[in-house]
Amino acid sequence: MVIITEEQVAGFHRDGYVVVDDLLSRPAVENLRAAHDELLRRWASECSCSIDDYTRVVSQWTGLWKQHPAFHGHIHRPALAAIARRLLGATHVQLFHDHLISKPPRHSATIPWHQDYPFWPIDKPRALSCWVALDDATAASGALRFMPGAHHRGEQPPIDFLRANKQWGPAEAMAVDVEVRAGSAIIHDCLSWHMSPPNTTAAQRRAIITIVMDSECRWHKARSSWHPMNAYVSVADGECFNGDEFPLIGAASGES
């Protein structure tokens, strides 16, 4: 099992993100790539279009853990849960949702500077994202870019992705492109400020993201009444999330 060091834990709390190299083995990466390809063929067929046409329009998919055994196994990787518990200081951790984001070769856009937490119907910022590269992620292919330490400024109003124009001024020079190879993970705080540029290469840039929260977090619908995950909540507002759609992770084993 991949174990993070005290230095990595300190870096996560200082900078708002940490890189965990080789969280997935090469066979595990290949397995997830094949699973995604299988799902793409299914989804494109359901839309009566080619995969190329389909992926020009759709580049993000949620709830893969319910659609393919490979992704179900991924959310239950013991290492992923152990790292999340350590970084959050939580006894138990729970899935909020997973999603796969693709930046197709030479056909993608800039994702502007933003924080994730302002968009989530979760009562406290006790959550993180485990972003695992399924392809090598470079600055040219759209690697994540972070503003180290900006999460310490707390939650800011949600940005408008269509009109976002976050300006850092001279601090922009402190932004870091975090390049990782396939199978490695970037784990970032829900209040971290991050963005990603377009993929200008001829290669794929896919990542599977698992959003994990402290199991003590509660549903707060008013924070994000539009969020699609609200449709899967079966508890009363202010209660802990139901475990059928938001399972505890770490109890089941997955391939590594």
How much is the pLDDT for 251? 56
* Number of domains the chain is built from: 1
Give a yes or no: residue 254 inside a domain.
no
Task: Give the pLDDT mean for 1-21.
Answer: 93
Give a yes or no: residue 157 inside a domain.
no
Q: Is the pLDDT of residue 253 over 60?
A: no
Give a yes or no: residue 182 inside a domain.
yes
Residue 192, phi-psi category: left (phi > 0), alpha (psi -120 to 50), beta (remainder):
beta
Give a yes or no: residue 97 inside a domain.
yes
- Greatest Cα pair distance, the chain, in angstroms, is 51
Higher pLDDT, 45 or 3: 45
Is pTM beyond 0.85 here? Answer: yes
Give a yes or no: residue 164 inside a domain.
no
Q: Which domain holds residue 53?
A: 8-152+171-248
Q: Enumerate the β-bridge partners of residue 60.
A: 101
Q: For residue 82, what is the domain's CATH number?
A: 2.60.120.620
How much is the pLDDT for 213? 98
Question: Which 8-state DSSP code applies to residue 67?
Answer: T
Task: Give the pLDDT mean for 226-236.
Answer: 97
Q: Give tens-digit pLDDT for 109-152.
A: 889 999 999 999 999 999 999 999 999 999 999 999 999 999 99
| Calpha distance 213→100 (Å, rounded) | 18
- Residues 6 or more apart in contact with residue 29 via CB below 8 angstroms: 134, 182, 183
Give a yes or no: residue 162 inside a domain.
no
Give a yes or no: residue 73 inside a domain.
yes
Give a yes or no: residue 3 inside a domain.
no
